Structure 1
Amino acid sequence: MDSFCGVQISTVLWTYPVMSNADRVVLALGGAGTVGSGVVKALLDKGFRVAVISRDNSRLEKLKGFVSPSTRDNLTTLVGNVGSEEGAEAAKQDLVKTVGKVTDVVSSLGFSWWQGGPPHTQTLKELHWVIETLLFSTFVSWKVFFPLVRDDPNCTYTFITGGAGEKLLMPGTGFLTVGAASTLAFCQVLREEYPEVPCKLNQVKINTGVAPPERMAPGYLNHLDLGEAVATLVERKCTTHTVFPVNCPADLKTVVLEGNL
């Protein structure tokens, strides 16, 4: 992979300017959530400019209070709905008008937890809501924002997905597994449908819980540590079409320290 990265860098030097972190603008989809906020903070601390879109302005204000005061000026927040085609397109226009060229996208869309009972007690409306939240929003936002970075080898698009798509977390959460599995399948489709796209297209698959420090449980990932790992992947932009599985906190240290990202 090192030789592959060397070839990529050589090509970039001929056709695209090499950018510092300060020149890069990362769109963090889902950046106001638990996972996303850790990623946003880490990106800002590394010197990136970061943009976050959310339907809930109060969550954006909370995010501003969470990030380091010294980096807050590099955070742009926009109110918008990336879950609908019309809303995502409008948000893209506002985004480009506000920050200019977007160089990287990190997508961690979804919800923190859902438990509504066994499938026979649920309605079709509930299943539709889970699929809409996990799959439809991921598809719509990718379709709208991927063209911003698709053709530049200096750019990246990173999906953060969950392992719930491959196992039932606990009785009563089956619809979450269905929705998460749909997202995993969608990411696989993208890797195979776009094998030679210049943009670095990667996936970080979290096979455990993620929480802020005050709500940590045994085996859970600290969202700040996860954010640091994802920010490192974006920063290095050396790998593409790769899935990085994270099963426990030790995995994050391994992939960062050994340079596996």
Structure 2
Amino acid sequence: MSNGERVVLALGGAGTVGSGLVKGLLDRGFKVAVVSRDKNKLEKLRDFVSPSTKGNLTTLVGDVGSEEEAEEVKQALLKSVGKITDVVSSLGFSWWQGGPPHTQPLKELHWVIETLLFSTFVSWKTFFPLVRDDPNCTYTFITGGAGEKLLMPGTGFLTVGSAGTLAFCQILREEYAEVPCKLNQVKINTGVGTPERMGPGYLNHVELGEAVATLVERRNKSHTVFNINCPADLKTVICNDKGAL
């Protein structure tokens, strides 16, 4: 399949990380579908991507964290774009600093885990069957290093939710070790920002998107974790496959 024949479902594609992924995929000639609960974010995404690629972008308002709505979204997407050949999942939120655990109610912990882990599970359960049995298809998780350390005081719940997502990706690699689909994980151990909101060592979200688009395009790795610690790793780890686990 050429890139133009492939349809990538970008879960979380309207967020900071996701918007860079969507642009990178569209610029390489892929067709891309994005689902979001926020119509305004979808409109901003359409304004953000390259004008010449807008015709290859399909957007749909929906909630992929709900089993019922995710199934409805799947049927609507298949009716609209015909097929899904690749999935890139970057679900979550940009930041959370709610305070020390003893100051938080249970509903806050539930919200963090629902946003980071439950939505990742529900969307995977819904869309993975569309690609799992085809060696020409891919499913790529974008995760973060927050699951392995406390980023700063007050972010403990973020670590709990992120750790759950990392564990989920691990069990998928082991439970589905023989699936033909290229199942990979890009683990980002630094910040990601837009050009106007960059910090020391941060990844530019567009450059990250270009690197992930290269991984999806090549389809030459499976059941691999790509650890990204700095901007240089986008080329040495993803594009050159050095340092992948």
1:127 to 89, 104, 109: 109
Shift of 1:219: 0.7
One-letter amino acid of the counterpart of residue 222, structure 1: N
Partner in structure 1 of residue 93 of structure 2: 111
1:199 to 169, 181, 204: 181
1:156 to 138, 151, 159: 138
Partner in structure 2 of residue 142 of structure 1: 124
Equivalent-residue separation in structure 1 for 2:230 and 2:71 (angstroms) = 37
Equivalent-residue separation in structure 2 for 1:258 and 1:131 (angstroms) = 34
Q: Are residue 94 (structure 1) and residue 76 (structure 2) matched?
A: yes
Partner in structure 2 of residue 52 of structure 1: 34
Equivalent-residue separation in structure 1 for 2:224 and 2:236 (angstroms) = 17
Shift of 1:258: 2.8
Equivalent-residue separation in structure 1 for 2:148 and 2:138 (angstroms) = 26
* Cα offsets for 1:17-37 (capped at 9, x unmatched): xx0000000000000000000
Equivalent-residue separation in structure 2 for 1:250 and 1:170 (angstroms) = 24
Q: Superposed, which structure 2 residues align to 1:1-261 within 5 Å?
A: 19-256=1-238, 258-260=240-242
Shift of 1:101: 1.1
Shift of 1:129: 0.3
Shift of 1:253: 2.5
Partner in structure 2 of residue 16 of structure 1: none
Q: Which ranges in structure 1 are unaligned for 5 or more consecutive residues?
A: 1-18
Q: CA RMSD in A?
A: 0.9
* TM-score w.r.t. length of structure 1: 0.92
* TM-score w.r.t. length of structure 2: 0.98
Shift of 1:256: 4.9
Shift of 1:254: 1.7
Q: Is 2:214–2:239's contact at 8 Å kept on the other side of the alignment? A: no
* Cα offsets for 1:127-181 (capped at 9, x unmatched): 0000000000000000000001011000000000000000100000000000000
SS at match of 1:36: helix
One-letter amino acid of the counterpart of residue 211, structure 2: A
SS at match of 1:105: strand
Shift of 1:250: 1.2
Equivalent-residue separation in structure 2 for 1:27 and 1:257 (angstroms) = 21
Q: Which ranges in structure 2 are unaligned for 5 or more consecutive residues?
A: none
Larger radius of gyration: 1
- List structure 1 runs of 4+ shifted beyond 4 angstroms: none
Q: 1:131 to 1:256 in 2, by over 3 A?
A: closer
One-letter amino acid of the counterpart of residue 190, structure 1: L
* Cα offsets for 1:186-220 (capped at 9, x unmatched): 00000000010010000000000000011011111
Equivalent-residue separation in structure 1 for 2:224 and 2:26 (angstroms) = 24
Equivalent-residue separation in structure 2 for 1:228 and 1:87 (angstroms) = 30
Equivalent-residue separation in structure 2 for 1:51 and 1:61 (angstroms) = 13
Shift of 1:240: 0.3
SS at match of 2:232: helix
Equivalent-residue separation in structure 2 for 1:164 and 1:218 (angstroms) = 17
* Cα offsets for 1:48-99 (capped at 9, x unmatched): 0000000111100000000000000000001111010001000000000000
